[in-house]
């Protein structure tokens, strides 16, 4: 069964993870989840999201993108917020 965003879709910690977790494989390997193009996210929505945490993050980002809400992430991208953030490579 495909992963779907949980009830806590607007959990700030999950939104921040979209900006720190990188795609671990595929055409966009190494790109942060929040920076994946909409067509790639939509492909996962059609084909099925992977299991686990990675699938939940991709489903959340696809929901945000599909509804035109990428601007929600803008405050989290503020220059004073980025330097200390680690990049987390997903193990899913």
Q: Picking from 42-46, 52-56, 76-80, which range would have the lowest pLDDT averaged per residue? A: 76-80
Residue 36 domain flag: yes
Residue 1 domain flag: no
Residue 52 domain flag: yes
Length of the chain: 92
Asked if 4 contacts 59 with a C-beta cutoff of 8 angstroms, the reply is yes
Question: What mean pLDDT is predicted for residues 69-74?
Answer: 90
Residue 3 domain flag: no
Does position 70 have pLDDT exceeding 60, yes or no? yes
Residue 30 domain flag: yes
Write out pLDDT tens, residues 25-42: 999 999 999 999 999 999
Residue 17 domain flag: yes
Write out pLDDT tens, residues 46-60: 999 999 999 999 999
Domain count across the chain: 1
User: What's phi and psi for 36, nearest 5 deg?
Assistant: -70, 140
Taking the alpha carbons of 35, 80, 73, 3 in that order, is the dihedral positive or negative? positive
Domain that residue 44 falls in: 12-80
């Amino acid at each position: 069964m495909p992963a779907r965003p949980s009830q806590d879709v607007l959990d700030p910690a999950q939104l921040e993870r979209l900006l720190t977790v990188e795609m671990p494989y595929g055409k966009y390997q190494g790109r942060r989840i929040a920076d994946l193009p909409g067509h790639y996210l939509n492909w996962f929505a059609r084909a099925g999201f992977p299991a686990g945490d990675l699938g939940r993050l991709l489903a959340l980002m696809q929901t945000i993108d599909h509804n035109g809400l990428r601007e929600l992430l803008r405050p989290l991208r503020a220059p004073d917020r980025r330097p200390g953030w680690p990049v987390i490579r997903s193990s899913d």
